[in-house]
Every structure is written in structure tokens, then in C-alpha cells.
Amino acid sequence: MNAVLVVDDDPNVIAAHRRTLRQFDVTYARGAVEALDRVREMPFAVCVSDMRMPGMSGNTLLTRIRDESPDTVRIMLTGDADIRTAIGAVNDGNIFRFLAKPCPTPLLVNAIRAGLAQHRLIVGERELLEKTLSGTVRVLTDVLGAVNPAAFNQTLRIHEHVQQVTARLGLPNPWQYEVAAMLSQLGCISLGSETLEAVYNGRDVSDVDCQRFALHASIAHDLLSNIPRLEVVARMIARQHESIDLRNVMQPLSERDPAEVGGAILHTAIELERVIARGLSRTEAVTELRTRTQEFDPLIVTALTSARDSLRAPASVRTSIPELKVGMTFASDVRTQSGLVIVRAGDEASSGVIARLVNFHRIGAIPAAVHVLVDETVPQIAAAS
């Protein structure tokens, strides 16, 4: 992507740029408002803006573009020789180049070429990091699933809850919260499935096992804290058993420390699972969490409320594993032949959950059919014989 946006309120300057910048894929905007409209319509690799424009300065414009399109490389053109203006533009807008007008064409052309090269570097580095990061998370979760199915199944359920919370609250960088959910039980890798099943279901365990389980969050933190871009995720995981900080509860979630918010979301999702394991419905479990205002943030608890919670419980039907569809709700627990819970009643079928059930079915570890709830938002299915 090599698109360039040039912004100037002077039609003569734009006409001059049209003649001298033909080698680039340039879009022109007459002023800041039009420029912001263009940025919302399509991504730009580079934006070149005049400093002095009516209504909104180039400095303010480039700062807005930085917020809306962080990868866009920003270049400022100005006839203002005031050094304070230049310093303010660089500091406020993260300007890549600051050029004085009148700017010789070769200098402007070289600046745009350098901006395009910088954009390729930014995008390439991010893609490399994201692929490395996603690969790392996939390996770690695959290892957890192979070594400790109980911890992995708990992870899947926590991840479903965290996805719902981040989507409904519109939190920035939702990937951090979702990765924290997927890796939240990583420290349990050395614990036995029986011990974890007991802990997750609220049954008594020995003092030794209780102490070992209590360390799993710090173990996961230590494993992840040295991985680039997972530092905040590691801190979220370390705080997954902490109650909310009542001093910050009135502050908007988007303004709080992400590690604190992530820890609070994990803590709420984990407790929701623990309460459901006692035999309560999801609606009843959410209602209980609402009353524990010293432990859980009401915004997070409200975000966990299912759209189905206010509806009368629908009937369940029996369907075969291959007929499962994303969005279906399980009417009862799905267990292996040994009694290990793979999916809990009330969980929604995601592509990952369906794939896991298919794999368990292939090896004969679970029955050929499960019970799902009939819902108007999900296509009707024929009951399996």
C-alpha cells in the first residue's frame, strides 16, 4: 500500500503538487475536514499536510490522523519559521519529517519516498511480531491442551467470557485480553487433571495442591513476561485472582491500567465458571456476582450477561457432532467417557469448540450426539436419531 494523502487549503499549491508528484499514488484534500474524511474512507501510507489552514491546523490534523490511522507516516509542510511550532508539531503529532516552505521538489519527493519506506518498515515489523506472537500463543495452548485437558477446557470457557466482555465494553487492544484468557491457565501445566477438576468445581483438595494451584498465576507471569509484546498480558494473568481496586471503580475502564482491567476481567470470568460449576445456571451465576460488589466490577459483570438471560429457557434438541453450527448453545455438559467436562451447559459453540468436539468424537472419547438449545437466531436442525 503506497497511497499518499496531500493536504493544503490553497488550490494553487495543490495544482503545483499535481504536476510534481505524478510518480506517486496521491489523493488531494482541500483542508483538514476533507482530509479526515479521506482517512476514514481508506488507509494511507503517508500524509503530507500544510501547517497553516483555516479551521484546524496541520498539527492538530496530523495528531488526529495519528489516532485514527497509527501506521500513516506524517510529514509537515509550513512557511512558519517559528521553532516552537516545529517542536510542537513533532511532539504532538509524532511527525516523521518537518519541511519548510517553499520546499524544493526533490526534497519533498525524497521525504515522501522515505515516508513510504518507513511505512513498509512499520507494517512489516508489526506483521512479523503478530505472526510470531500468534504462533507462540498457539504453541503454548496446544501444549497445554495435550498435557492438561482440564486446564485447556477451562481456558476455552474463560476465553469465551472474555471475548464477550471486551466486545461489549469496546476496550482498546482487545487482543491483549483474549491472549491473557488463552494463557491464563498456562501455569497449571504441572498440575494433575484430577486436582484441577476438583479446584474448578469447588471440591476440597489437599493443602499442598491448594498451595501449588495458588502459584499458577505467578508461574505463567514469569514464563510470559520476557516475550515481546506480552508484558501487559503477563501482568493481567498475574492479577487474575485479585478483587477489584475499589479506589478505581468509578474511573472509566478505558482510562485504567490495562493490567488491572485484564486481571479484573479474568477474575470475574473465572469466578463465573466456578459458580456455574456449583450447579447454578448462567443467569443465576451472574446474579450472584452482581451482589459481590467488593470483588467484581459491575460493568464487567453486566457485560457477561447473555442476551438469552432474560428469555424463557428454550427446549433442547439432540444433534450429531457434524451438524453443530457456530452460535448454537449447549443444553447440557459434554463429557468424555472418563467424565472430563469438555463443554459446559450454556456455552456457545465456536469454531474452536466444534473442532475440539470433532477430534474427541473421532477417537471415540465422546458420544456421537449432543444436546443444544433451540433458538430463533439459530437455524432449526433435525433431531439426530
Same domain, 163 and 252: yes
- Report the distance separating Cα 125 and Cα 316, nearest Å: 49
Structural domain contains residue 138: no
pLDDT per residue as tens digits for the range 315-356: 778 899 989 988 788 888 888 887 777 787 777 787 778 888
Total-model pTM? 0.59
157 and 302 housed in the same domain: yes
Is residue 190 pLDDT above 70, yes or no?
yes
Q: What is the pLDDT of residues 72-128, one digit of tens each?
A: 999 988 876 556 666 666 666 568 888 888 889 999 999 999 999 999 988 887 777
User: What pLDDT score does 341 carry?
Assistant: 76
Looking at the structure, tell me whether residues 67 and 168 fall in a common domain: no
Of the two residues 359 and 235, the one the predictor is more confident about is 235
Is the domain of 198 the same as that of 335? no
Q: Are residues 104 and 162 in the same domain?
A: no
Question: Among the three residues 88, 123, 158, which one is the final residue of a domain in this structure?
Answer: 123
Regarding predicted confidence, which is higher, 130 or 294? 294
Do 194 and 286 lie in a common domain?
yes
Among 310, 329, 363, the domain-final residue is 310
Q: Residue 214 maps to which CATH number?
A: 1.10.3210.10
The CATH number given to whatever domain includes residue 61 is: 3.40.50.2300
Question: What is the per-residue pLDDT for 209?
Answer: 86
Confidence of residue 27 (pLDDT cuts 50, 70, 90): very high
Residue 56 lies in a domain: yes
Based on the fold, state whether residues 167 and 285 are members of the same structural domain.
yes
Phi, psi angle pair for 212, to nearest 5°: -65, -40
Nine-digit cell at 331?
443444553
Residue 135 lies in a domain: no
Q: How many domains does the chain have?
A: 3
Kindly write down the DSSP assignment for every residue of 252-321, as one continuous string: -GGGS-HHHHHHHHHHHHHHHHHHHHTT--HHHHHHHHHH-TTTS-HHHHHHT--TTTTSPPPPEEEEEG
Q: At how many degrees (to 10) do helices 32-41 and 58-68 cross?
A: 10
Residue 379 clears pLDDT 70, i.e. is over it: no
Amino acid identity of residue 326, one-letter, is V
| 133 contacts: CB under 8 Å, gap ≥ 6 | 179, 227, 228, 229, 230
* pLDDT at res. 137: 80
Does 302 lie in the same domain as 156?
yes
* Assigned domain for 137 exists: no
* 34-62 b/e (C-beta count within 10 Å ≥ 16 → b): ebbebbeeeebbbbbbbbbbeeebbbbbb
At 383, which CATH number? 3.90.105
CA distance readout (Å), 144 to 138, 156, 188, 241, 267: 10, 11, 8, 20, 20
- Say yes or no: 263 and 349 in one domain: no
pLDDT in tens, 278-297: 888 888 889 999 999 889 99
Judge if 318 and 305 occupy the same domain: no
| 143 in a structural domain | no
Identify whether 265 is part of a domain: yes
User: Do 317 and 283 share a structural domain?
Assistant: no
Q: Which domain holds residue 206?
A: 148-310
Rounded to 10 degrees, the C-alpha dihedral 70/16/99/126 comes to 20
- Among the ranges given (91-95, 182-186, 251-255, 296-300), the one the predictor scored with the smallest mean pLDDT: 91-95
Q: Is 294 domain-assigned? A: yes
Compute φ and ψ for 14, nearest 5 degrees: -65, -40
What share of the chain in percent tops pLDDT 90?
A: 31
Do residue 211 and residue 304 come from a single domain? yes
User: Among 123, 138, 156, which residue terminates a domain?
Assistant: 123
Flag whether 333 is in a domain.
yes
